[in-house]
Every structure is written in structure tokens, then in C-alpha cells.
Structure 1
């Protein structure tokens, strides 16, 4: 029987080593799991973006109730949402003249830099009326304000291709952005199919 003792000791030692090995693997797996759990997912980033909400001094002029409010606009596609906002009546008139309403409403995902009524008022009346009467030129100007995909405040800075086929450059960060000579006065406004950044000047191609 004494001869069996070394074998039993060796077996016991091997079992102990295996146990430590399994414990180490388990610890490693737990650590890996914890690490992946602490990494923000894309959905979490989207939730943070939504929680941020609209920003900018111009947002104070947006209605607090009704279809033209921030909550009301979120329920409708972008052209319809804009038509309910009193800040954007001239833009809606231009979109209607260019027959772009259905195009914008049916798009899957857009970012729209939306000039206010005051932005259009900076254009001399004769020039604005001429633009509204020229469907091809008007379409080019309006589509110059639209980018594919919904750009969050974290992603909006940079150079982006517009639906007009050219590019625009957005500069800034946080809650301060410019698009060319225009400033974003109310950003990160959601509609059913678009992100809207309201700007104080019309962007010319």
C-alpha cells in the first residue's frame, strides 16, 4: 500500500493544479465580461444623444406645445415637421415651390440644415423672388442644405456631401457649430426621419 501513496499524491497535486487553472480561466472570463459590459454600445450612445436634446439660443423661439414643438416635430417626417414650425415658414414655401416635400418626407435618414425666416429675409426680396421662381436653381440651393444620414452633435462637425452633390463643412463642437457663414441657433432637433439643425443664414452652393 505504501507504494500507492506517491501515485495518490501526484494525482492530488494534478487535481489542485487543474482547480487553480479553472479558477484562473473563470476569473479571466469574468474580467472579460466586465470589460465588455463597461464599453458603451451604439444604442447607449444614441440614448445619450436623445437625452441631450435640442440646444442653442434659437430653441427658445420654438413653440413649447403642439405640432410645431420639439415633441410634436419628432412625430412627423421632416418636411411635414418643418411646416408646423413658425420659424420655418419661408423654408417650407421654398420646399413646396421646388416640389421637394415628398422627397424629403420619404427619405430614410437625413440631416437638414434649416434656414429660419430671418435667414431668408437677409436675401434681397427681388433675388429671393427670382430664386423661388427658378425651380432648378431653388432645388440646388435647398438640397445643398441636406445630408444623408442623421448626424448627432458628436458627428456633425466635418465635411459632408450634400444631396446637391457638393459639400458643406461644419465646424465646432459641443453646442457651438457653424456651417460656412451660418451659425446653428437650434441644433439636434429630431423629426421622424431626420436631424434638424436650424441655421441663421441661407447656405449658397
Structure 2
């Protein structure tokens, strides 16, 4: 059986067209999800030194958070709950990290009581941690089981995402040595709390 020049040309054209046509089949959500850190609070992350994105990327998550001025209340809470080593030693996790502004939304008496109750504080803080790395594309419409044991949900697109319908990711896709960090503007409470 002889292959004509026309058949060879048609086969070559089909081979070239295949990758282009497959691009149309790729999920559009992934093209929309930012690969770099995103969100309005990212602009207040230090550009250099302790707490900068470059320094955070080299340290485990709790240590990295300690250098970020937006996360000082979270770091104090992690220390009170005894979770610093636990988070630093876990691999490939995602932490929905409440900013200082998020903790400031809690009435002072309630926050003082939460910080004084190690069991409840541990429950709340572990509800902010998912035992796997979540990509920004997975935030589009996600449901994830937390270390606390219950699920949290995410929705959004582009660079606008919410957690559990109300908490906004204000600086997302921040990388540390062992985690992806999503800074959120509200402390997430486990459903049974």
C-alpha cells in the first residue's frame, strides 16, 4: 500500500493540529487560577528579610508565619496550643491562616476565653489546616477535610476566593518549605463550635 504525498501532508497537518485542539479541552479554571501569590494583603508582606515571600518559602510553615507581621496573633495562638512543631513537621499541607485583622473581629472577651482553653483552641486551629497541598485551581469549588476532622469549602475564581462562604482569602498561594498558606480575613470556626 502506497502512501501518497497528499496523505502524508494530511497526516502531518493532523499531528500539528492535535496539541492545539487538546488545549481547548483543558479545564478553563486552571488557566484562570493565579500561580503566584495573589490578593490585596500580599502588598503588605515585607519585600525582603524576615516575613518576605522568599524567606517564607525556605522555612516550615509555623516558623515562616512567625516572620510575617500579619500573622503574629496566629503564631501566639499556635504556641499556646502547642502546635508549632506539629505544623512545622507535617509535609505538603495547606494552612488557611487567619490574619491579625481576622482575630480582631472576635470580641475581646471571646478571644481571651478561646486562647485560655487549649482544647478548644487546638480544635479551632486544626480546622484551619488541610492535610494536603491545595492548588489555587482546586479552590475554585473545593471541599476539604481538615486536621480537625470536619470539612471546609472554598469557592471563587481569578484572584477572589472565599472559605466557607464568608471568609475571604486576602493573600493566597504563599509557599513555605512544607505548606501552601492562604491568609484569610476571618477565623474559621468548626461547624460544631
* 8 A Cα contact 1:49 1:152, kept in partner: no
| Structure 2 unaligned spans of 5+ | 24-30
Q: Report the CA distance between 1:76 and its aligned residue.
A: 0.7
Q: Which moved more, 1:49-58 or 1:105-114?
A: 49-58
Structure 2 partner of 1:57: 40
Among 84, 87, 95, the residue aligned to 1:104: 87
* 8 A Cα contact 2:50 2:67, kept in partner: yes
Q: Report the CA distance between 1:52 and its aligned residue.
A: 2.8
**Whole-angstrom CA distance in 2 between matches of 1:38 and 1:74:** 37
Structure 2 partner of 1:176: 160
* 8 A Cα contact 1:131 1:138, kept in partner: yes
| Structure 1 unaligned spans of 5+ | 1-16, 41-47
Q: Report the CA distance between 1:123 and its aligned residue.
A: 1.1
CA root-mean-square deviation: 2.7
- Higher helix content, 1 or 2: 1
Structure 2 partner of 1:124: 107
Structure 2 partner of 1:187: 172
Q: Report the CA distance between 1:31 and its aligned residue.
A: 6.3
Q: Report the CA distance between 1:97 and its aligned residue.
A: 0.6
Matched position secondary structure for 2:137: coil
Structure 2 partner of 1:77: 60
TM-score, normalised to structure 2, is: 0.82
Structure 1 stretches of 4+ with a deviation exceeding 6 A read: 27-34, 36-40, 48-51
Q: Report the CA distance between 1:34 and its aligned residue.
A: 8.4
TM-score, normalised to structure 1, is: 0.77
* 8 A Cα contact 1:153 1:174, kept in partner: no
Q: Report the CA distance between 1:51 and its aligned residue.
A: 7.8
Which of the pair has more CA radius of gyration? 1
Q: Which has the higher contact order (CA 8 A, sep 6+)?
A: 2
Among 117, 136, 139, the residue aligned to 1:153: 136
**Whole-angstrom CA distance in 2 between matches of 1:200 and 1:84:** 18
